[in-house]
Structure 1
Amino acid sequence: MKKIILAAALAVSGLALPAHASDKIDEATQAKITEQLTAQGYEVRKIDSEDGMIEVYALKDGKKFELYLNEALEIVKSKEES
């Protein structure tokens, strides 16, 4: 019973973070990605994280793209959505 109470107390205090919390992309990195991709002609719509990579949803030349960036913020994979 004490373990349950302790776990609940940690969760409420914010010390027990969900496993995916480390996947959050901070605002400074998001701003850098947006600036970089805008310079390449993309209109960034959403920045997320998936499978350890940064996933960016963007438009360019009227087409939708899913871009995957590595830790160095380099595009390593690009998918055009229909």
Structure 2
Amino acid sequence: MKKTLLAAALALTAIPAFASDDAMSAAPADLAAGTMLGTDTAAITEALTALGYDVRKVGSDDGMLEAYVVKDRYMAEVYINPKTGEIVRVGGDD
């Protein structure tokens, strides 16, 4: 009986945790592909800060500019085309 109650309690607590993790892994609309941020570190930092993100680092990797950002509990790597200044993709907090 105790094992059954424990298993049921664990199952019920796990469901909301998975739901919130899925919700947190989706990129916010303000980081959609095509959003213009800029082509240099200062412009990217300014644009992301204006959107409410804490910019932890901006650098380059494999020909892309890459910004590490945090907003509330969401953390992401934002990949930016260095020629156009547009977001190419966003890697969420996995």
1:44-68 residue CA offsets vs partner (Å, 9 max, x unmatched): 0001111100011010232110000
| Corresponding position: 1:62 with 2:73 | yes
Unaligned 5+ runs, structure 1? 1-27
Please give the TM-score of this superposition, normalised by the length of structure 2. Answer: 0.53
Give the whole-Å Cα distance in 1 for the aligned partners of 2:73 and 2:52: 11
Task: Name segments (4+ residues, structure 1) moved above 3 Å.
Answer: none
Paired-residue identity, %: 47
Q: How many residues align?
A: 55
Q: Please give the root-mean-square deviation of Cα atoms over the aligned residues, in Å.
A: 1.7
**Larger proportion of strand:** 1
Give the whole-Å Cα distance in 1 for the aligned partners of 2:85 and 2:73: 23
